[in-house]
Amino acid sequence: MTHFDIVPLDPGDTAQVRARLAVMEAIDAHDHVGTRPLNPAHVIASILVSRGDSRGERWIAVCDGRVLGHLDLALPLLDNAHAVYFELGVHPDERRRGVGSALLRHLEERAVEEGRSAISTWLPMPGGGAPGISAVGPAWAVGKGYTMSLGCAIRAVDLDTVDESALDRLWDQASAKAADFDIVPFTGLPPERIIDGIAYLHGRMYTDMPLGEWDLQEAAIDRERIRGWADMRRLRGELHLHAAAVRKETGEVAGFTEIVIEAGAEEHCHQGDTIVDPRFRGHRLGTLLKIANQRAVRRWRPKMRYVWTGNAVSNEHMIAINESVGYRLVCHENVYQKKLS
C-alpha cells in the first residue's frame, strides 16, 4: 500500500489544481472512452464559482507532492439535506494501492460527521455506442456496499446528421395539438412573468421523474433559487438556453427544457431538465420544446455538434421523444447509493 495523505484541495495553489485536473483527464481518457469529454475550463470554473444551495468539498490523495486521486463532495443545504453526492477517481497508474478505498472511507466518515444518511454517485457502463467504457467502477462500488438504485441511459444527438425535414414534419404535427400554447425561448434568467412557473416545475422534477430506489426527496424551488443558479452560470461563463411552453389564455408555464453550453465547450453540450406539467400533457409540448431548443443551439453556436442527455430507462415517454428528434443510445449511467445507519 502506498503512503499518502488525504487533504483538502487548495484553490489558490495553481500547481495542485492543475495536478488534480491532470488526474481527472487521465481517468476520463482511460475509463470513459466514447462519452462526453471532460471540459477542463468547466472543472476550474466550478472550483471558483460554487452553487449557493449546496456546499462542495474537494479532497485529493497526495504522495510526495503527486496527486494520486480525487474526491468531490456535494452536500445539499436547502433540501435533501440527508444526502451526499460524490465523484471519486484514482489515476489509472496508481490503482490497486488502497487509494480509492481510503478516499471512500474518508467520504463515509465525512457523511457521518455531517449527519448525512444517503450517499450517491453516478457511474457509466459500457454501451453499444461506447464499448470502451470501463465497467470496473460499478463492480468496485457494489463490492463496497453500494447498490444500483436507478438505471439510466445516456444518449447523444449529432446535430450534423439530424434530418431537419423530419423535424419540420414533427413540428407541424405537434403544433396542431398545441394551438393553445406559445413556445417561448430565452437565455439565462427566466423572464419575470414566467420565473415562478419555471421554479415550480424545477421542483416537480424531484418527484415526477422515475426514481427507482434512489432516495431523492421533494424540493421547494423558488425564484431566488432560480436567480442563484442563473448567476452561478453567468459567472462560470455558461450559456443557458431554454424553451418554455406557456398557456396563451392564462400565462401558466406548462413545461420547459434547457440546454447548457459550458465555457470552453466547442463541440459538446448537455441537456438539463425537461418537464411538462401533468395538467397539460397530451399536447405534444415535450416534442415542440425539444425541437425549439435543439435548433437554438445551432443559432447560438453554429459549430456545436453534440447534445447529450440522460434518462431513467423506465422513462419510455421521454426516451421516445428524444429518439424522435435524433438522440441515439451511447451507454448506461446508473445511480449507485449506500444508506448509512
pLDDT, tens digit, for every residue of 181-192?
999 999 999 999
- Work out the pLDDT band at 1, boundaries 50, 70, 90: low
Q: Which three cell numbers stand for residue 221?
A: 424551488
Give, in order, the Cα–Cα distances in Å from 106 to each of 58, 95, 120: 12, 17, 14
How big is the CA angle at 298 (ends 294 and 301), to the nearest 5 degrees? 125
CB 73 within 8 A of CB 114: no
Confidence band, pLDDT 50/70/90 cuts, at residue 130: confident
Q: Is the pLDDT of residue 127 over 90?
A: no
pLDDT value of residue 122: 97
C-alpha cell read off for 120: 450517491
Domains, the chain, in order of start with CATH, read: 5-116 (3.40.630.30), 156-331 (3.40.630.30)
User: Is residue 41 within 8 Å of 99, Cβ to Cβ?
Assistant: no
Q: How much is the average pLDDT of 190-204?
A: 97
- Residue labelled with grid coordinates 415526477: 208
Per-residue pLDDT tens over the stretch 29-82? 999 999 999 999 999 999 999 999 999 999 999 999 999 999 999 999 999 999
- Write down the pTM of the prediction: 0.95
∠ at Cα 185 (184, 187), nearest 5°?
140
Residue predicted with more confidence, 104 or 3: 104
pLDDT in tens, 254-305: 999 999 999 999 999 999 999 999 999 999 999 999 999 999 999 999 999 9
State the pLDDT at residue 210.
Answer: 87
Tens-digit pLDDT profile for residues 144-179: 999 999 999 999 999 999 999 999 999 999 999 999
CA nearest 333: which of 152, 155, 119? 152
CA 18 from centre of chain = 23
pLDDT digits (tens, 9 = 90+) for 210-242: 899 999 999 999 999 999 999 999 999 999 999
